[in-house]
């Protein structure tokens, strides 16, 4: 096995983690306090509005763009980027922002995802890097990874799609006057952010105390509990590689673009000895690379293009990764 690709990937992940979480400490010396910050436990008394965002450090990001991974809006000092793309979709669906304003962001997102696919997950996303770090710590102490049974993996995939659909659906529905009148809109605003571990983890890593609980009403208490459960699930990633990524709605959204992306994983079937190494080393337990017996392109919708399978495959030139048709790695 040649771990060279993993070593390069680790360096890229560390650099991106630093930039995404601490970039705003370097590039914005005069932070603008945009919104009043809600302290932990403090009831929300105002409805959402375009100029108000709940539970944030209330500061402006350096770059007003939404890259296709968890560049979280709640990062300390506003973060390098404005937020993740699910945040972008959710808030603008709720605000009914005009397509004209949204179009440049959507086009940019589609372009970069079609170019790199879910390599954003494997190489750039800070939450993905944290899950890899947790696995590294487990390995350091000699702990074995738990494998996720196929049926459970399928359930996680379905859960990710469900979270994606429900988040966008709620973002659209909460603007209905009937719901707004009962205050549901405020409690369910940016509903996915309320359960995403990045909202709690990223401010903490920048020295900002996030809003840990909200006792305003039954919905906010429920969402608080679900958020804690998901945070616990995230930390179960010490035992299971990329556990959170299996249920992440942002990853689920990108999975629609992965197979048609210009970053591809390819297999020369005649050279494959079907040893199963690629499946064994895959952090997401993806079977497709091993099982494929006909097609050359084996990029799975859930593949994060980490290239562990490529560097681990014992057969020369059996697996390769290509970017815009040019080979970037091979076994």
Task: Compute the least distance from the CB of residue 183 to ligand SF4, in Å.
Answer: 30
Q: Binding ligand SF4 by CB under 6 A: which of 16, 211, 223, 265?
A: 265
Q: Binding ligand SF4 by CB under 6 A: which of 38, 121, 163, 243?
A: 121
- Is 277 near ligand SF4 (CB under 6 A)? yes
H-only helix segments in 236-301: 249-258, 277-281, 288-291
| Contact region with ligand SF4 (CB under 6 A), list: 18-26, 148-156, 201-209, 273-281 | 273-281
- Is 117 near ligand SF4 (CB under 6 A)? no
- Is 87 near ligand SF4 (CB under 6 A)? no
Q: How far apart are CA 8 and CA 31, in angstroms?
A: 33
Which helix (H) or strand (E) segment is 108 a member of?
Answer: helix 99-116
Phi and psi at residue 180, in whole multiples of 5°? -60, -35
b/e burial code for range 62-83 (CB count within 10 A of at least 16 → b): beebbbbbbbbbbbbbbbbbbb
Residue closer to ligand SF4 by CB (options 72, 187) is 72
Task: Compute the least distance from the CB of residue 188 to ligand SF4, in Å.
Answer: 21
Q: Is 297 left (phi over 0), alpha (psi -120 to 50) or beta?
A: beta
10 Å CB burial of residue 29 (0-12, 13-18, 19+) is exposed
State which of positions 157-196 bind ligand SF4 (CB under 6 A).
none
Task: Compute the least distance from the CB of residue 52 to ligand SF4, in Å.
Answer: 26
Residue closer to ligand SF4 by CB (options 62, 313) is 313
Which helix (H) or strand (E) segment is 107 a member of?
Answer: helix 99-116
Task: Compute the least distance from the CB of residue 271 to ligand SF4, in Å.
Answer: 7
Contacts of 13 (CB under 8 A, 6+ apart): 123, 124, 128, 129, 132
- Is 243 near ligand SF4 (CB under 6 A)? no
The answer to whether the CB of 309 falls within 8 A of the CB of 278 is yes
Task: Compute the least distance from the CB of residue 233 to ligand SF4, in Å.
Answer: 12
H-only helix segments in 41-98: 85-95
Task: Compute the least distance from the CB of residue 113 to ligand SF4, in Å.
Answer: 11
Residue closer to ligand SF4 by CB (options 44, 138) is 138
- Is 36 near ligand SF4 (CB under 6 A)? no
The answer to whether the CB of 211 falls within 8 A of the CB of 231 is no
Task: Compute the least distance from the CB of residue 176 to ligand SF4, in Å.
Answer: 29
Name the closest residue to ligand SF4 (Cβ). Answer: 251
Q: Binding ligand SF4 by CB under 6 A: which of 54, 80, 282, 329?
A: 282
Task: Compute the least distance from the CB of residue 144 to ligand SF4, in Å.
Answer: 18
Report CA dihedral (49, 53, 58, 60) to the nearest 10 degrees: -80
Q: How far apart are CA 67 and CA 215, in angstroms?
A: 32
Site string for ligand SF4, 301-330 (x = CB under 6 A): --xxxxxxx---x-x--xx-----------
- Is 247 near ligand SF4 (CB under 6 A)? no
Q: How far is CA 15 from the centre of its chain?
A: 17
Residues that bind ligand SF4 (CB under 6 A): 69-70, 121, 125, 127-128, 244-245, 248, 250-251, 265, 267, 272-278, 281-282, 284, 286, 289-290, 300, 303-309, 313, 315, 318-319
């Amino acid at each position: 096995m040649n771990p060279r690709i993993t070593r390069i990937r680790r360096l890229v992940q560390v650099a991106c983690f630093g930039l995404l979480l601490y970039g705003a400490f370097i590039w914005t010396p005069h932070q603008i306090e945009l919104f009043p910050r809600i302290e932990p436990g403090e009831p929300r008394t105002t409805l959402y509005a375009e100029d108000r965002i709940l539970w944030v450090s209330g500061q402006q990001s350096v770059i007003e763009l939404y890259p296709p991974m968890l560049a979280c809006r709640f990062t300390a000092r506003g973060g390098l980027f404005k937020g993740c793309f699910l945040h972008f979709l959710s808030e603008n669906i709720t605000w009914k922002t005009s397509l004209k304003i949204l179009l440049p962001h959507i086009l940019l997102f589609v372009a970069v995802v079609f170019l790199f696919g879910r390599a954003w997950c494997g190489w750039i996303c800070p939450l993905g890097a944290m899950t890899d770090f947790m696995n590294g710590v487990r390995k350091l102490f000699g702990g074995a990874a738990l494998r996720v049974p196929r049926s459970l993996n399928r359930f996680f995939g379905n859960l990710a799609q469900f979270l994606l659909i429900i988040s966008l659906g709620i973002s659209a529905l909460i603007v209905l006057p009937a719901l707004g009148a009962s205050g549901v809109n405020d409690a369910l605003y940016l509903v996915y952010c309320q359960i995403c571990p990045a909202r709690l983890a990223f401010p903490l890593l920048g020295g900002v105390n996030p809003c840990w609980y909200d006792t305003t009403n039954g919905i906010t208490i429920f969402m608080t509990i679900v958020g804690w459960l998901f945070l616990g699930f995230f930390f179960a990633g010490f035992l299971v590689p990329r556990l959170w990524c299996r249920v992440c709605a942002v990853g689920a959204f990108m999975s629609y673009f992965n197979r048609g992306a210009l970053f591809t994983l390819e297999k020369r079937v005649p050279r494959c000895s079907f040893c199963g190494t690629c499946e064994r080393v895959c952090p997401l337990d993806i079977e497709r690379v091993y099982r494929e017996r006909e097609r050359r392109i084996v990029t799975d919708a859930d593949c994060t293009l980490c290239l562990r399978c490529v560097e681990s495959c014992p057969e020369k030139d059996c697996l390769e990764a290509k970017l815009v048709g040019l080979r970037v790695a091979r076994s």
